[in-house]
Amino acid sequence: MNRARKIIHAEEAWVRGITGRGITAAVLDTGAAHHPDFADRLVCFRDFIGGRTSPYDDYGHGTHVTGILAGNGALSKNYRGIAPETRIVSLKVLDRNGNGRRGDVINGIRWVIRHREEYGIRVMNISVGTVKEGDSRDALLVQAVEEAWDAGLVVVVAAGNMGPMPQTITAPGNSRKVITVGSSDDSAPVYSGRGPTKNCVCKPDVVAPGSGIVSCSALWQRGQAYCRKSGTSMATPMVSGAAALLLSQEPWLTNVEVKMRLMETTDDLGRPHSRQGWGLLNIGRFCRIFLTNR
């Protein structure tokens, strides 16, 4: 995560004590291993695939995503997530191959809506998407994330890796309401999804680094504490982590205000809106850390 940190200035937030403390984020993915970088902040685990009660991740994707959002670098000190004191609710909605059913994802989303006050959940990260936009069943998935948004959650969703052609944003990232994240540094063979959506919604909303990101490995007990992965799945928790930082500093903000702050503080990369949205996430400006010298 070092390269990404230099780009989006997350380390400046930590220096000023903005670490996501007091905020809980829900991560819907393949689960989460009991990795030391976030294990003491994993406050709840729910398994919609196998019904197990103890945290686990039999694919590794969810552990990596969780580490980007909230890892504290306990096993390294060189690799730290964006919001290293944020609490995590992990929902396993994808199987050991990284695949899943829309119904399980929807059930996970609605579980978060029901339990958001119990666990203090303010942010929901969904680094999950359909194979391609357009399946009629996607409407139910989009409806579920919009229910979560309407309930007040900051819902952050991956744009998917189906680009570079137009109209390749995957559901539920094609929702008009949620924050859809693309990768700022995509390249073959993985391209960030491009807008607009088939319903002519301008997407993605924002981009963040997504290539070669180092984060927590589910195999940490076998001597592999960290690993590299690429895709919009990796870019998404950077934005979720940034939202957690902001809300820990300004907890009165609504999800709409968080989204508007994103729109106002990104760095323009000079690329088409269909590729970069508003631009590159800049946590310094997003959290108004540099307000006095800009």
Catalytically active residues are 29, 61, 233
* Whole-angstrom distance, CA of residue 37 vs CA of residue 218: 11
What residue ranges in 22-82 does DSSP mark as E strands? 24-29, 42-47
Q: Residue 263: what residue type?
A: M
Q: Is 73 exposed, middle or buried (0-12, 13-18, 19+ CB in 10 A)?
A: middle
* Whole-angstrom distance, CA of residue 142 vs CA of residue 294: 38
Q: What is the DSSP letter of 192?
A: -
Contact residues for 45 (Cβ-Cβ < 8 A; gap 6+): 31, 32, 53, 54, 55, 89, 90, 91, 92
Please work out, in degrees rounded to the nearest 5, the angle formed at the alpha carbon of residue 173 by the alpha carbons of 182 and 285.
45
Q: Residue 112: what residue type?
A: V
Question: What is the full DSSP assignment across 276-289?
Answer: HTT-B--HHHHTTT
